[in-house]
Amino acid sequence: MAKRMKIPIKSEAEIRKMRVAGEIASKVLQATAAFIEPGRTTSEVDAYAAELIAENEGIPTFLGYRNFPGNICISINEEVVHGIGGARRIQPGDLVSIDIGVTMDGWIGDNAVTVPAGPVSSEDLRLLAVTEQSLFEAIDHAREGVLLADLCGSVETYVNRHDFTVVRQLVGHGVGKELHEKPEVPNFRPDGNTPRLKAGMILAIEPMVNAGTGEVDWLDDGWTVVTADRKCSAHFEHTVLVTDGDPEILTWRPRTALPEQLGVTL
């Protein structure tokens, strides 16, 4: 990662537009997460999210991006990210990850969450709790003057402490008028020098955490990423504004649950 990479700094007017995009993206994500239940197909979930985006006068950011065929990404169990809605039916006990981008007036809000479809095992609940908390470990570093490497490294440090693994072949990213802007935001400490964060940078921070190996495979559709050992994965994401004080989560939503509310001991 180059020390002098040019990372976009948003103006106050641009940040206001990003707040709108983030708010709508979060609204759609929360409603779609609540819509998930056993028996629904992933295409039904995709269509539901698309309808909500349209109702809010937004555009589904992912549709057509590099020829991606879905309105959202919906991934189940061993599918890490980039799952495409189709005929697969959600089963009781599945872990369902939904990643939703919404474009409003040219600006993008990007967020993701993994939810259980009905009761799941205590180990699956622990995976969800650890992944979500690792996101907040990283967000706490989204402050002016902090090395990007420290933000990235905080995810893997936390995840490894709880005996899970981060995916290294996929990363978070800057976001704004483009879905993927500089810098890359890996979930591990990158080699070499990294820049210090500055107020006005906006990052899509997205831990992808696996129950087993961190290695992944791509399915034949060219999009869906799965764990190499086919064990479960979880994915949480927020669009975050770096400030000179506390970070601002532009896709704010209530936390899925604190570990103690899930009955999970970390």
166's CB contacts (< 8 A; 6+ apart) are 134, 155, 156, 159, 160, 187, 188, 207, 208, 209, 210, 214
* Helices H / strands E in the chain, number of each: 4, 15
Average pLDDT over residues 138-144: 98
In tens, the pLDDT along 233-246 reads 999 999 999 999 99
pLDDT at 263: 60
Helical residues (DSSP H) of 40-147, grouped into ranges: 42-55, 122-139
Q: Are 173 and 101 in contact (CB under 8 A)?
A: no
pLDDT band, very low/low/confident/very high, at 223 (cuts 50, 70, 90) = very high
CA distance 209 to 228: 13
pLDDT at 258: 61
**Which of 73, 93, 70, 92 lies closest to 83, judged by CA?**
73
Average pLDDT over residues 102-117: 98
Q: Top-level CATH class of 12-256?
A: alpha beta
pLDDT band, very low/low/confident/very high, at 176 (cuts 50, 70, 90) = very high
Tokens standing for 207? Answer: 């831990």
pLDDT at 256: 80
Total length of the chain = 266
Query: What residue spans define the domains of the chain?
Result: 12-256
Model confidence, pTM: 0.95
Q: Is the pLDDT reported for residue 262 higher than 70? A: no
- Residue 118's φ and ψ, nearest 5 degrees, are 80, -170
Average pLDDT over residues 152-167: 97
